Structure 1
Amino acid sequence: MGLIFAASASLVACGSLNGASTSIASIVTPYKIDIVQGNFVSQEQAAAVTPGMSRVQVRDILGTPLLSSIFHADRWDYVFTFKRQGLAPQARKVTVFFKDDALERIEADALPTEAEFVASLDSGRQAGKVPVLEMPPESLTAAPAPIKTVEPTPLPPLPASYPPLEPVAR
């Protein structure tokens, strides 16, 4: 009888521990890194691309396309995604169309400027407290201590001949 009571008590204890660990796990969330994938294209880059440019010129400005297909040889796709914990994912697409190796047109989602994109990378992050300098500024401008030079000691002379790398056959 005592054995049955001990077994049922341990099962009840396991169930309550499981419920406690689940409630703790729902409070604590793991850290998830920011995920940046693809080619970021800014407003400035898209504005610099003009019809009539060659493929090489477009590649110099926008970078290598993320997607280029043999089935769509006259089309390059630049896809960019940015995922950050707690924020909605950002996704942008820029498509470049060529005709006879010259840029015909460019189609793009609303693109941010470079400054706006850099500001979005830092949004939501709290700046830490700036550490206090441990060395007073006067000592930073003071004359440095003289450097002590040490004369190198000469190495022993090398042997006149080295032993053979392979055993000598006799």
Structure 2
Amino acid sequence: MPSSLRILAVAGLCALLGACSLFKFPGVHRIEVQQGNIITQEMVDQLKPGMTRRQVRFVLGTPLLEDTFNPNRWDYINRMRNPDGEETQKRFTVYFNGDILIATSGDWQPEGWPR
């Protein structure tokens, strides 16, 4: 077999194997991918105005984003991709005045807080 034909055969085989990722094979298990902070309404309902940063971190965990230009804001972001490839994203932001929690915004709202 000439070397040019052998190279062409190897290149064709590589292209064929690379194209396999385009097809979804039946019965193949796909996992749900979750990134960021896991926040629930129950966690958010534990927040009270006047809590310290340490107390908020205890309830919600470490924020995904702490803005260096705005140290009085913490952002919690949760992104989920289901097995079908659909992505959803939810955000929750807490605002401080110094060390004291003063406000929240995002996809969840603490119960009893003004809207």
TM range (shorter): 0.5 to 0.7
Distance 1:82 1:27 in 2: 20
Residue deviations 1:107-165 (CA, integer Å, cap 9, x gap): 12148xxxxxxxxxxxxxxxxxxxxxxxxxxxxxxxxxxxxxxxxxxxxxxxxxxxxxx
Aligned length: 93
**What is the match of residue 93 of structure 2?**
95
Amino acid aligned to 1:53: M
Q: Which blocks of at least 5 consecutive residues in structure 1 are unaligned?
A: 1-13, 112-170
Q: State the alpha-carbon separation in 2 of the partners of residues 27 and 94 from structure 1.
A: 35
CA distance in 2, matches of 1:98, 1:59: 12
1:41 aligned to which of 32, 39, 42 = 39
Give the match for residue 28 of structure 1.
25
Task: Give the Cα–Cα distance (whole angstroms) in 2 for the partners of residues 35 and 27 of structure 1.
Answer: 17
TM-score, normalization by structure 2: 0.68
Q: How does 1:85-124 map to 2 (within 5 A)?
A: 85-86=83-84, 88-110=86-108
Where do 5+ consecutive residues of structure 2 fail to align? 1-11, 110-115
Structure with max Cα Rg: 1
- Please list the CA deviations of residues 61-94 of structure 1 after superposition, one character each: whole Å capped at 9, or x if unmatched: 0000010021110000000011112152121100
Instruction: Give the AA of the match of 1:86.
Output: D
Distance (whole Å) between structure 2 residues aligned to residue 67 and residue 93 of structure 1? 11
TM-score (norm 1): 0.47
Using the TM superposition, give the Cα deviation of residue 55 of structure 1 relative to its aligned residue in structure 2, in angstroms.
0.1
Residue of structure 2 in register with 1:64 after alignment: 62
Larger RCO, structures 1/2 (Cα 8 Å, 6+ apart)? 2
Runs of 4+ in structure 1 off by over 6 angstroms are none
- Tell me the percent identity: 33
